[in-house]
Amino acid sequence: MYDCIIVGAGIAGAVAARKLAEEKGKRVLVLERRAHIGGNCYDERDAYGILIHNYGPHIFHTAMEDVFAYLSRFTGWYLFGHEVVAKIGDELLPIPFNLNTLHMVYGQEKADELERKLIAAYGEGSRVPIMKLKENEDADIREIAEYVYENVFLRYTMKQWGQKPEEISPEVTGRVPVLISRDNRYFQEKYQGVPKDGFTSMFARMLDHENITVRCGADCREVLRFSGNAVFYDGKEFEGKVIYTGALDELFDCRFGRLPYRSLDFRFEHYDRPSYQGHSVVNYTVSEDFTRITEFKFLTGQQDADGTTIVKEYPFAYTGADGEIPYYAILNDDNQALYERYRALAAEIPNFYLLGRLAEYKYYNIDAMVKKAMELAERL
């Protein structure tokens, strides 16, 4: 009945399904364990009519024309330059830390001198990871690095990851660099924004194809059986392709131990007033137990809505308990070695492909995930 079975209806699974169904003429079955499509990008209107992101804020940003064009087939866009501020003491400072932030922290004369030194050392427009900035020989530049490290990175990183920055992969600490420019945007790519009608509507249009069947509430471990070098569907050996986007350790019942992840506890609050914080995202890098507050009406173009809904994010260590969701892989040599043991098991299954954050145990931005799903579908 099917040529391909895809496990997961998030961005990876949805893009691969549409490409295979539409361009390759494949009959595709998508199995989704949750009750809805869209993965962690899922959004819906709350009881007050505010469009919220149930699993935390997601902003699409890319410089890849082909990725933007492909997604634009299924959605219009609310495009904007995403800006984030950090609550440090009584101040709201732009982050990533940039030349505007520099002038808010230091007096005019000193800020001018520090700006000249940063541009001379790294070049205007560059992005410098904080750990690299700390290694500079100039004492003044190290002073900036120390300020950023203490007030933007250290406590925030310890809250988010449960570790010190030195213990975190450079791939992670490099995501929020010091920016040698006056650009207050969190991202610098050409296209930034969210789907005009929401991510869920975009996914629904993408999966709406005569060759695609979607089954929500279907755990692949209950639908598929893996035995030796074969995959069985409905009691019969399945000879087509299987694309798996779920947690790889859980597919094999965590036989070597559970892969470590950080999870998040989202606490939504609604207020009967025009605004709660006046910004889409405020990071709490020093104070509070939560890491950030998102006010959705500024993220999704709903500024005219009555009232406002926010969400606070509390990180914690993922344990696999009911209701917990693995969000961020904890990247280090030991965890990668453990992942490779699971990947070796998956490699024994013919026509079985791993795709996505959980299946590959790595971090992907939305655009990079779209690109990789497009490329895999093309190869298949």
Region 216-228 average pLDDT: 92
Give the mean pLDDT of 100-123.
Answer: 96
The pLDDT, as a whole number, for residue 214 is 98
pLDDT of residue 31 exceeding 90, the answer is yes
**Which residues lie below 8 Å from residue 275, measured CB to CB, with a gap of 6+?**
295, 297, 298, 308
Assign 367 a pLDDT band (cuts: 50, 70, 90): very high
pLDDT of residue 168: 76
By residue count, the chain amounts to 380
CA 162, distance to chain mean position in Å, is: 18
Mean pLDDT of 214-241: 93
- Indicate if the pLDDT at residue 170 is higher than 90: no
Structural domains of the chain in order of their starting residue, each with its CATH number = 4-77+193-258+329-379 (3.40.50.720), 96-179 (no CATH)
Digit-coded pLDDT (tens) for 273-324:
999 999 999 999 998 999 999 999 999 999 889 999 999 999 999 999 999 9
With vertex at residue 258, the alpha carbon angle to CA 252 and CA 263, rounded to the nearest 5 degrees, is 120
pLDDT of residue 131: 86
pTM over the 0.85 mark: yes
**Nearest Cα to Cα of residue 220 among 4, 3, 6:** 6
Share above pLDDT 70 across residues of the chain, in percent, rounded to a whole number: 99
- How sure is the predictor about 175, in pLDDT bands with cuts at 50, 70 and 90? low
* CA angle in degrees (0–180, nearest 5) for 34-16-232: 65
Residue 203 is predicted with a pLDDT of 98
Residue scoring higher pLDDT (148 or 164) = 148
What's the confidence (pLDDT) of residue 171? Answer: 72
**What does pLDDT average to over the chain?**
95
Asked if residues 308 and 273 have their Cβ atoms less than 8 Å apart, the reply is: yes
SS3 of the chain: helix, strand, coil, percent, to 5: 35, 25, 40
